[in-house]
Amino acid sequence: MGLLNDRVAIVTGASKGIGRVMSRLFAREGARVVCAARSEALVAETVAMIRSAGGEAIAVVGDASLEDGARSIVDAGVTAFGRLDTLINNAGDGGPTKPIQDYLTDDWFYTVNSCLTSAYLCSRFAVPAMIAAGRGAIVNITSMAGRRGLPYRVGYCSAKAGQIGMTYGLAVELGRHNITVNAIAPGAVAGDRIDRMIQGQAELRGVEAERIRQSFVDRSPLRRMSTPEDISSLAAFLCSDHARNISGQCIPVTAGEPAS
């Protein structure tokens, strides 16, 4: 028996990174997965991986930060599988690495919409289907940047802090419908995104990228970054019956680094 048997789960940002790993894990744990992303080619690859391993999934191409896109993602899942139990709000672009005086209004709205508005819209359209199903689990993939900040990342830090606040508010609002709402706040996660952020930080500070990368490792008691698998395993637990009484929490995954 898988952790997520008889679940229908939407994973946004499923084309790569954490979203791809999470989609594959959820399918292995028995969920039917709605893999949503803006890139048709990449999200099709995710679905092909799931199906080749014997899992069940569909690809939905849409921009979760737009009202029509978010609605179409949820509608496609309900149409394909007849219900919706689980929503992983993982979509989001980190935006540019810039000092505040150079951080343009367009940079701000792009980053906030990508990370926070997408989570709001997908939750807004998913909740009625969860109420109809009699249960639900929403997990917002936020960041430790939303709890303690990073230099030159004002839009990203603000958007991720907003996701944490949204988690708390929705958990209180939706508990009466048997819907849990939690957030996962990763620290440094190995992958393309942190590589780009480290390079940007290095250029702004005038230091070698490896020095910044090593600083993330050095402040972790476990002396390592987290992986997409670490985040995905926690998400699967939070969406399972084992976590039915866990709601309104923001759980750090930091390889041992204190959360505050």
And the tokens for 41? 């080619």
| Spatial contact of 163 and 116, defined as CB atoms under 8 Å apart | yes
In the chain, the amino acid numbered 229 is E
Active-site pick, 103, 120, 152, 156: 156
Phi, psi of 69 (to 5 degrees): -65, -45
Residue 156 falls in the annotated catalytic set: yes
Choose among 98, 115, 95: nearest CA to 161: 115
Cross-strand bridge partners of residue 56:
32
How far is Cα 50 from Cα 85, in angstroms, rounded to an integer? 19
| Spatial contact of 36 and 72, defined as CB atoms under 8 Å apart | no
And the tokens for 106? 């367009």
Other beta carbons less than 10 A from residue 200's beta carbon:
18
Q: Give the 3-state secondary structure of residue 114.
A: helix
End-to-end CA distance of the chain: 37
Residues designated catalytic = 156
